[in-house]
Structure 1
Amino acid sequence: MKDFINKLYRNHSLIYKGLLFICTTFLIVYLFPKSGKFKYNFEKGKPWQSENLYAPFNFAIKKTENEISKEKQAIEDNKILYFNVDKTISVKIKSEFETQFKNVFADSITKFNLDELLKTGNVIISELYQFGILNEDYSFPDNKVVTILDNRVEKEKVLFSNLIKQDEVVSIIEKNLSNQNLSRFKTNFVSLFFDFVEPNLFFDESTTEKALQDEFDKIAYARGSVEKGTLIISKGEVIEGDKYQKLKSLQSEYESQVWSKSNYNWILFAYTLLVALALLMLLLFLRKYRADVFENNTKVTFIFFNIFLMILITTLVVNYNSKYIYIVPICILPLVFKAFFDARLGLFAHVITVLLLGFIVPNSYEYMFLQIIAGIVTILTVSELYKRANLFISVGQITLIYIVAYFAFFVIHEGTVETIRWETFIWFILCGLATLFVQPLIYIYEKLFGLVSDVSLLELSDTNSKLLKELSNIAPGTFHHSLNVANLAEASANEIGANAMLIRVGALYHDIGKMKNPTYFTENQSTGINPHDELSSKESAKIITDHVINGIEIARKNNLPDRVIDFIRTHHGTSVVYYFYMKEKDQQKEVDKLDFSYPGPKPFSKETAILMMCDSVEAASKSLKDPTSTKIDAFVENIINKQIEEGQFLNANITFKEIQSIKKVLKHKLANIYHLRIEYPE
Structure 2
Amino acid sequence: MCHTLVGVPCVTLWIRTALRQDVAHLAVRPLPGLLALFVGGGNLNTINAYLTKLKDLLGLKVFQIVLLLFLGVFSYAVMYSNVKPEKITVELFKPAEQTIIAGKTVEDTYKTEQEKNDTVKQVSDVYTLKKEYAQNKVDLVDSIFDSAIEVMNETPPAHQKPGDSAKPDDHLSTDKKVELLKGKLTDEVNNELPSHIFTALVEAAEADLQIAKDVTVTVVNNVMSTRIPADEVENAKKRAEEELRFSSLKGELKAASIALARNVIIQNVFFDREKTEEQRQEALESVEPVKILQGQIIVVEGQLVDREIYRKLELTGVLEGDKTIQPFVGLAIIIILTVAALYYFFNTAEESNDFKTNHLIIFIVVFLIAISIMKTISLFSGDRFANLGYFFPAAMASMIIKILSNERYAAAATILLAGFGTIIFNEGSTGVLDIPIGLYILFSGMAGIIILTSRNFKARILPAGLALSFVNFALILAFLFISDGQYSKMEFLYYFAAALLSGLLSSVLTIGLLPFFEAGFGILSTMKLIELSNPNHPLLRKILTESPGTYHHSIMVANLAESACEAIGANGLLARVGCYYHDIGKTKRPQFFIENQMNIDNPHDRLPPATSRDIIIAHATDGAEILRKHRLPREIVDIAEQHHGTTLLKYFYHKATKLGEDVNEDYYRYPGPKAQTKEIAVIGIADSVEAAVRSMAQPTAEKIENLVVSIISDRLHDHQFNECDITMRELQIVKKSLCETLNGIFHSRIEYPEFQKTEQKVKI
Does TM, normalized by the shorter one, top 0.5? yes
Aligned to 1:277: 337
Aligned to 1:22: 69
Aligned to 2:361: 301
Matching residue within 659, 674, 680 for 1:608: 680
The CA RMSD over aligned residues, in Å, is 4.0
Give distance in 2, aligned partners of 1:390 and 1:58.
48
Structure 2 counterparts to residues 201-350 of structure 1, below 5 A: 254=316, 260-261=322-323, 263-264=324-325, 266-287=326-347, 290-292=350-352, 296-321=356-381, 323=385, 324-350=388-414
Q: Does 1:374 find its partner at 2:444?
A: yes
CA contact (8 A) 2:389 2:437 kept: no
CA contact (8 A) 1:338 1:345 kept: yes
CA contact (8 A) 1:386 1:458 kept: no
Give distance in 2, aligned partners of 1:40 and 1:521.
79
Task: Give the letter aligned to residue 377 of structure 2.
Answer: V
Give the C-alpha shift of residue 228 in structure 1: 7.1
Aligned to 2:292: 54
Instruction: Please give the per-residue CA displacement for 1:400-433, whole angstroms capped at 9, x wherever unaligned.
Output: 3333433443455432224517455545554424
TM-score (norm 1): 0.62
Between the aligned residues of both structures, percent identity stands at 28
CA contact (8 A) 1:282 1:349 kept: no
Q: 1:457 to 1:523 in 2, by over 3 A?
A: same
CA contact (8 A) 2:80 2:328 kept: no
Report the secondary structure of 1:330's partner residue: coil
Q: Does 1:420 find its partner at 2:491?
A: yes
Aligned to 1:143: none
Aligned to 2:465: 395
Tell me the matched-pair count.
Answer: 488
Task: Give the letter aligned to residue 292 of structure 2.
Answer: Y
Matching residue within 718, 726, 734 for 1:646: 718
Give distance in 1, aligned partners of 2:336 and 2:635.
31
Give distance in 2, aligned partners of 1:259 and 1:453.
58
Give distance in 2, aligned partners of 1:370 and 1:502.
36
CA contact (8 A) 2:105 2:292 kept: no
Instruction: Please give the per-residue CA displacement for 1:22-71, whole angstroms capped at 9, x wherever unaligned.
Output: 33223322322353796559xxxxxxxx9764379997668xxxxxxxxx
Give the C-alpha shift of residue 330 in structure 1: 3.4
Give distance in 1, aligned partners of 2:652 and 2:711.
18
Structure 2 counterparts to residues 254-653 of structure 1, below 5 A: 254=316, 260-261=322-323, 263-264=324-325, 266-287=326-347, 290-292=350-352, 296-321=356-381, 323=385, 324-362=388-426, 364-383=434-453, 390-410=460-480, 412-413=482-483, 414-418=485-489, 420=491, 422-423=493-494, 425-431=496-502, 432-433=504-505, 435-653=507-725
Give the C-alpha shift of residue 603 in structure 1: 1.0
Q: 1:310 to 1:603 in 2, by over 3 A?
A: same
CA contact (8 A) 1:513 1:548 kept: yes
Instruction: Please give the per-residue CA displacement for 1:291-350, whole angstroms capped at 9, x wherever unaligned.
Output: 347853222222223223322332233235465544443322122122222334323332
Give the C-alpha shift of residue 602 in structure 1: 0.8
Task: Give the letter aligned to residue 710 of structure 2.
Answer: N
Aligned to 1:79: none
Unaligned runs of 5+ in 2: 1-55, 86-102, 107-287, 757-764
Instruction: Please give the per-residue CA displacement for 1:591-639, whole angstroms capped at 9, x wherever unaligned.
Output: 2445433221111222222222222212222222322333223222222
Report the secondary structure of 1:358's partner residue: helix
Q: 1:592 to 1:412 in 2, by over 3 A?
A: closer
Give distance in 2, aligned partners of 1:634 and 1:553.
36
Task: Give the letter aligned to residue 486 of structure 2.
Answer: G
Instruction: Please give the per-residue CA displacement for 1:136-157, whole angstroms capped at 9, x wherever unaligned.
Output: xxxxxxxxxxxxxxxxxxxxxx
Larger Rg belongs to: 2
CA contact (8 A) 2:422 2:437 kept: yes
Give the C-alpha shift of residue 665 in structure 1: 2.4
Instruction: Please give the per-residue CA displacement for 1:378-400, whole angstroms capped at 9, x wherever unaligned.
Output: 22333558676533222222223
Give distance in 2, aligned partners of 1:361 and 1:342.
28
Aligned to 1:33: 80
Aligned to 1:116: none
CA contact (8 A) 1:485 1:615 kept: yes
Aligned to 2:737: 665
Task: Give the letter aligned to residue 361 of structure 2.
Answer: T
Instruction: Please give the per-residue CA displacement for 1:255-305, whole angstroms capped at 9, x wherever unaligned.
Output: 7658954x42x5444333323434544454545565347853222222223
Report the secondary structure of 2:424's partner residue: coil
Give distance in 1, aligned partners of 2:295 and 2:492.
35
Q: 1:418 to 1:336 in 2, by over 3 A?
A: closer
Give distance in 1, aligned partners of 2:321 and 2:529.
53
CA contact (8 A) 2:646 2:674 kept: yes
Q: 1:226 to 1:643 in 2, by over 3 A?
A: farther
Unaligned runs of 5+ in 1: 1-8, 42-49, 63-221, 231-248
TM-score (norm 2): 0.56
CA contact (8 A) 1:474 1:518 kept: yes
